[in-house]
Amino acid sequence: MEILQNPWIIGIFSGIVSGIVILIIGRLISSKREKKVYNQKVLQGNQELITPMKPLILENNKSIGDLYSSMKSAVSKKYNINIDDLYSINDFADIIIAETLQSPFLNDEQKKNHCKEILDVKNESTCDKH
């Protein structure tokens, strides 16, 4: 038990413990910062994915699923993010439906027709997966 009262041992032990605590705190801060940067890249990637695809889905383009998959793959590579973190075709269709319904420039009949067309594309892409 005399060894535990030795100032050298206490100093070395204290240094090791404080080093471990600082390492853990540093990694927590670093991982939060990395996650924030990653989430910003996903948000930017989703915006880049939606912008060029929006006119195609509104034209009721039947090959939108394949185009969307290709674009999604390209965006995930460009931003070095996991492809599964980007919007799916269903998420994309839901966003476009919400934007259509909120548009003050379309009358109710136009909104209804656009939403029906988008739902058709959404359902077709869901059926293609099965």
Question: Which pTM was predicted?
Answer: 0.71
4-40 confidence digits (pLDDT tens)? 778 888 899 999 999 999 999 999 999 999 999 999 9
For residue 33, the number of C-alpha atoms closer than 13 Å in the C-beta half-sphere is: 6
Evaluate if residue 130 carries a pLDDT over 50.
Answer: no
Rounded to an integer, what distance in angstroms lies between the CA atom of residue 29 and that of residue 24?
A: 9
Taking all residues of the chain, what is their mean pLDDT, rounded to a whole number?
87
| Residue 125 contacts residue 64 (beta carbons within 8 Å) | yes
Q: What is the pLDDT of residue 127?
A: 63
Strands (E), the chain: none
65-113 confidence digits (pLDDT tens)? 788 889 999 999 999 999 999 999 889 889 989 998 998 998 999 899 8
Which of the four pLDDT bands, split at 50, 70 and 90, describes residue 45? very high
- Per residue, the 3-state secondary structure of 99-127, as one string, reads HHHHCCCCCHHHHHHHHHHHHHHHHHHHH
DSSP 88: P
47-63 confidence digits (pLDDT tens)? 999 898 888 876 766 67
32-44 confidence digits (pLDDT tens)? 999 999 999 999 9
